[in-house]
Structure 1
Amino acid sequence: MAARIVRRVDAHARSSGGRAPHVPRALGRARARGTAVTTKAEFFDRIRAEMARTPGRAPSALAARPVRPREGLDVLRRELSERWRENLDRFQHELERVGGVLHRVAEAGEVPDVVAQIAAERGMHRVVTWPRDTLGVDVAAPLVTRGFDAAVMPGTEVAAAERARLRGLAAAADLGVTGAEVAIAETGTLVVVSGAGRPRSTSLLPACHVAVFERDVLVESLVQMGLVLEAWHEGAEPSWRGAAINFITGPSRTADIELTLTRGVHGPKEVHAVFVERGLSVARRA
């Protein structure tokens, strides 16, 4: 006869037997100090102590800020003018690594041809562009003659209601054309600065972004970009006070917790850069 296992159940519900309290080690140390909450100062003190024990990869001292950054930038640009071909090749390599595309043209008049080709190959019809004065070339008129719906952003500041309308126009566009104030060869990054005649929505809201630039805006590294920023903000009243400076490195990419990569969630799905060897007419800030 098989043995029977009998488990007895208490007739009345009761609490489990008493045990010693379980206190995590960190809380135990805090309790010993008389507090179970870490203050902000204590938190940073522990980080500093740990960093002091761990050798860093970068020097801990801050780099000295340039005394006359605009003069330094002028010197740098003269040096870079002798290496622009090498820097452009590196920019193209890095841009393509992050999913961007570089187009090279000899004359500014060829830019509308490139934009039209990009749009036609993707079945895009609605284009929004910066005005000629800030872009350096007229793109809208040639596109309209080819049957595209091309809108030009205003070249001056506008009222709030008009800004809202223009954002809607950019959001409905398939392709946005902007300039680029700096192109960083080290990372394939386009630096786009907003302001009157250069609305940020043109580069952010359409599914495809096309940026037009010339050799004068090429820099080699992020370190050199730091000098550019210093030059832009030199003086008590910088000319670009309040402007948004966007660093664009390839198309928008977003991954969820399962590492599923999606393009175009927070920005354009495609980024194209058009390098113009000569003919752009753009006034630089510094």
Structure 2
Amino acid sequence: MAGTIENRDVFLSKIAKQLGREPKTEMERPTWQYQPQDRVLKEATKDELVEFLVEQCKNIHTDIVLTNTANLPVDLQKVIENYGSQSVITWKDERFKGFGLSSLMTEQWPQANIQLYEWDSEQPQENIRQAEKANIGITISEITLAESGTAVLFSSKDKGRSVSFLPENSIILIPKSTIVPRMTQAARLISEKVRNGEQIASCINFITGPSNSADIEMILIVGVHGPMKATYIVIEDQ
């Protein structure tokens, strides 16, 4: 139900009077002479953004793999094995099938005794239990910020945020087409979706590598409140 605003003009008029000025009924968006938020990496190509992302991953303690759809199953399996090949939890997301991962997940992993759990919106308590015990969580980035090495995840009933928070290791699939320069472009993309009437996730997570924390002496600690290790897999999809 939409809310209503009452006595707004009276309230604002009283404030204006106390400030000794006339009340304003309209506001014009200012035009700034300098707009650094748009200048950073403005002219960068997608390939250059990938190169920038690769370099930034060194700073955020995150491994990165560059691949394409054809090689993705093999490259993903290598990362899974590197993380111990124990148990995996994933979103319920048709994009995994679109990336050609169905055979790997539903046939090869069971044969290799890798436990796979897919998020089930009908089993909220079981979802959390499985996420807590899973060794690896796999998600997909909606928008990726090259400047900071940040993956943007949209939560929904089929895409629980616990998949990227609770397992010890996190793997985030990054379609190359999702890579933008920085937060400025991500905010605009989300804003455009809102203006277009698209349903936006109630929880949008900006994740920059594994869990990091630093005390007052700036001593970096990894894995305090989330995954201890993270890998980004950039998929050529253009």
Letter in 1 for 2:110: V
Percentage identity across paired residues of the two chains: 22
Q: Secondary structure at the match of 1:233?
A: helix
Aligned to 2:35: none
The gaps in structure 1 that reach 5 residues or longer are 1-60, 65-78, 280-286
Aligned to 1:243: 202
Q: CA deviation at 1:261?
A: 2.8
Larger Rg: 1
Aligned to 1:103: 65
Aligned to 2:141: 180
Q: CA deviation at 1:278?
A: 3.3
CA distance in 2, matches of 1:258, 1:105: 39
Provide the TM-score with structure 2 as the length reference: 0.73
Letter in 1 for 2:48: E
RMSD: 2.5
| Conserved 8 A contact 1:171-1:205 | yes
Aligned to 1:149: 115
Match of 1:94 among 48, 56, 64: 56
| Conserved 8 A contact 2:141-2:151 | yes
Deviations 1:15-41 (A, max 9, x none): xxxxxxxxxxxxxxxxxxxxxxxxxxx
Aligned to 2:11: none
| Conserved 8 A contact 2:137-2:169 | yes
Match of 1:165 among 118, 126, 136: 126
CA distance in 1, matches of 2:192, 2:129: 34
CA distance in 1, matches of 2:30, 2:221: 38
Provide the TM-score with structure 1 as the length reference: 0.62
| Conserved 8 A contact 1:95-1:101 | yes
Task: Mark the CA change 1:85 to 1:217 in structure 2 (over 3 Å): closer, same or farther.
Answer: same
The gaps in structure 2 that reach 5 residues or longer are 1-27, 32-41
Following superposition of structure 1 onto structure 2, how do residues 103-252 of structure 1 map, counting pairs within 5 Å? 103-107=65-69, 109-135=70-96, 136-137=98-99, 138=101, 139-141=104-106, 142-154=108-120, 157-158=121-122, 162-234=123-195, 238-240=198-200, 243-252=202-211
Q: CA deviation at 1:132?
A: 4.4
Aligned pair count?
196
